[in-house]
Amino acid sequence: MMLTDAWIPLVLTLKVAGIATALNMVLGVAVAYLFARKNFLGKEFLDAMLTLPMVMPPTVLGYYLLVLLGREGPIGAFLKEQFDINLIFTWQGAVIAASIVSFPLVFKGARAAFESTEIYYEQAAQVLNVSDWAIFLRVTLPLAWRGILAGVLLAFARSAGEFGATLMIAGSIPGKTQTLSIAVYEAVQAGQDDVANFLVLLTSVVCMSVLLVSGRLAPGRVISRNL
Amino acid sequence: MRWKFKLHKKYLSSKRHFEINVDVQSKAENLVLFGPSGSGKTQILKMLSGLIQPDSGLVQFNQIDLFNSESGVNLSPQNRGLAYVFQEYALFPHLTVLQNITFALNKSWFNRAQHQENQMVDDWLDKLQLRAIANQYPHEISGGQSQRVALARALMSQPKALLLDEPFASLDDNLRKNLRHELAALQKQIGIPMILITHSQEDVDALGDEVFHVANGMIVGEPLSSN
């Protein structure tokens, strides 16, 4: 019984965190590259806006999402009308909450990684007649990947542990939107100490594994010319 | 006329106001821009290669417009056919010497672990004595070797001309002397036009057919010709 109690929220948590992390890996890295390489008006203001989810209470964030994505909200009403999509109380809603909460971790990590990569490597590749897209994949990304990956793993851990915003937007529907952290809360509320203990242990193991992997990959080793 | 360039660019910041304003015409095979550090030489070279865009002006090589602010011509660095050797060499630290040298030959989106047999690569490896270090990484080789690798990498793109930014600045005296002669011999052998920027009078004596003196972002006095 205990295993099925844990299995369903564990799989859901990994699914939600996995998709949220994949989304951030594309969006966060792309936006970070733009911030690291281009100058535009209001850049630092926009940076602060994009970092806000890291410092704002998740419940506040969840409330914002509820207002925006709810049936009466501007985005929610549009999605319902045009595509008959409803995000509230769905696992897809949980993905959105987890993506937004963990976005700054990928964005900040990747921006720092791109900014610490010397621009002359990219310039050297440009004058060697290699396309911009190939330069990004063959030079920029390989030089920045450690910093990016560390941010991505932290974002995965943060997504997997998401509680406040997820509860606000996706609720706690067992088997549908009840992730591990929400299941722990429900188990404690219901006085099911055994279930709670098991879930807590499981969550701790998942989080520790991610942290250990990210610690191994974090940029501690700087490649230098040693001359 | 081999080279014709007229460049104007203003750099405005709260700390420094700097302006580049140069007008150069030269028939020389080996053109040297000579001047102290901070005189704007590197900026000029980067404008010629397309890595920096001037506010206005013209860059012509063999009577062909590479940049012309009046007619709107602005070829990308990839399409100018000018190879550039950076002062810091900018060898890709994540790639071996051989992968660095063959970088321009690989037009795909990914770095190749194995390189295909290529006569030109073999020739340059022998000519510049790089065969023994072909599988080493840039941080494992000496300054003189790095310089040769950077040169080989630049020549492998089969450029129309070679731009060299202080190629001997980070080497010790003996090595500098040797490599200067090596470069002069190589240049005679392959007959590729070159622009070299330097703050060293010895470089000027050994390599310059025509020398323009740069100070404060401007050409000072008349060009000196060795003929």
Per-residue pLDDT of B97-108, as tens digits, reads: 999 999 988 888
What is the C-alpha separation between B36 and B140, in angstroms, rounded?
31
Give B77→chain A minimum CA distance, Å.
5
Give B221→chain A minimum CA distance, Å.
31
Contact A121, A129 (CB under 8 A): no
To which residue do tokens 């194995």 refer? B114
Contact B5, B24 (CB under 8 A): yes
Give A141→chain B minimum CA distance, Å.
11
Nearest residue of chain B to residue A128 (CA atoms): B104
Q: Cβ of A129 under 8 Å from any chain B Cβ?
A: yes
Per-residue pLDDT of B156-177, as tens digits, reads: 888 999 999 998 887 778 788 8
Find the helix or strand (DSSP H, E) in which B65 lies. strand B64-68
A110 class by beta-carbon count within 10 Å (0-12 exposed, 13-18 middle, 19+ buried) = buried
pLDDT at B110: 85
pLDDT at B209: 86
Nearest to A124 among B79, B86, B109 (CB): B86
Instruction: Write the CB contacts of A46 (distance below 8 Å, at least 6 apart in sequence).
Output: none
pLDDT at B213: 92
Among A123, A129, A224, most B C-beta atoms within 10 A, so best to mutate, is A129
Q: Cβ of B139 under 8 Å from any chain A Cβ?
A: yes
Find the helix or strand (DSSP H, E) in which B6 lies. strand B3-12
> Cα separations (Å) of A74 from A62, A67, A155?
16, 8, 28
Nearest to B153 among A120, A128, A223 (CB): A128
- Can you read off the two tokens belonging to residue B91? 């060898």
pLDDT at A223: 46
Q: Cβ of B2 under 8 Å from any chain A Cβ?
A: no
Per-residue pLDDT of A202-226, as tens digits, reads: 889 888 888 888 777 665 544 444 4
Give A115→chain B minimum CA distance, Å.
16
pLDDT at B8: 95
Q: Cβ of A41 under 8 Å from any chain B Cβ?
A: no
Among B101, B106, B109, B162, most A C-beta atoms within 10 A, so best to mutate, is B109
A118, amino acid identity: E
Class of domain B3-81+160-225: alpha beta
State whether B110 and A143 contact (CB < 8 Å). Answer: no
Among A39, A127, A130, A141, most B C-beta atoms within 10 A, so best to mutate, is A127
Q: Which of A3-7, A107-111, A167-171, B140-144 has the lowest mean pLDDT?
A: A3-7
State whether B109 and A133 contact (CB < 8 Å). Answer: yes
Give B33→chain A minimum CA distance, Å.
20
Residue B129 CB neighbour total at 10 angstroms: 12
Comparing CA positions, the residue from B30, B72, B23, B75 lying closest to residue B44 is: B23
A136 has a pLDDT exceeding 70: yes
Domain ranges of chain B: 3-81+160-225, 92-146
Contact B28, B224 (CB under 8 A): no
State whether B157 and A128 contact (CB < 8 Å). Answer: yes
Residue A101 CB neighbour total at 10 angstroms: 26
Per-residue pLDDT of A58-110, as tens digits, reads: 999 999 999 999 888 889 889 988 898 888 999 999 999 999 999 999 999 99
State whether A223 and B103 contact (CB < 8 Å). Answer: no
Backbone angles phi, psi at B162, to 5 degrees: -120, 130
- Can you read off the two tokens belonging to residue B74? 């602005």
State whether B110 and A137 contact (CB < 8 Å). Answer: yes
Q: What domains lie within chain A, and their CATH numbers?
A: 3-222 (1.10.3720.10)
Q: Cβ of A119 under 8 Å from any chain B Cβ?
A: no
To which residue do tokens 């660019």 refer? B9
Query: What is chain B's pLDDT, residue by residue, as a tens digit (227 residues)?
Result: 899 999 999 988 777 789 999 999 999 888 999 999 889 999 999 999 999 999 999 999 999 999 999 999 999 999 999 999 999 899 999 999 999 999 988 888 888 876 667 888 888 888 888 899 999 999 999 988 999 999 999 998 889 999 999 988 877 787 888 888 888 888 888 889 999 999 988 888 888 889 999 999 988 888 887 65
- How many interchain CB pairs under 8 A, A with B? 85
pLDDT at A222: 45
Contact A123, B47 (CB under 8 A): no
Per-residue pLDDT of A14-31, as tens digits, reads: 999 999 999 999 999 999
A171 has a pLDDT exceeding 80: yes
CA dihedral in degrees (B200, B205, B208, B212; nearest 10)? Answer: 60
B107: helix, strand or coil = coil
What is the C-alpha separation between A150 and A217, in angstroms, rounded?
6
What is the C-alpha separation between B57 and B181, in angstroms, rounded?
35
Structure pTM? 0.84
Give B109→chain A minimum CA distance, Å.
4
DSSP string, A122-186: HHHHHTTT--HHHHIIIIIHHHHHHHHHHHHHHHHHHHHT--HHHHHHH---TTTT--HHHHHHH
pLDDT at A227: 38
What is the C-alpha separation between A92 and A80, in angstroms, rounded?
14
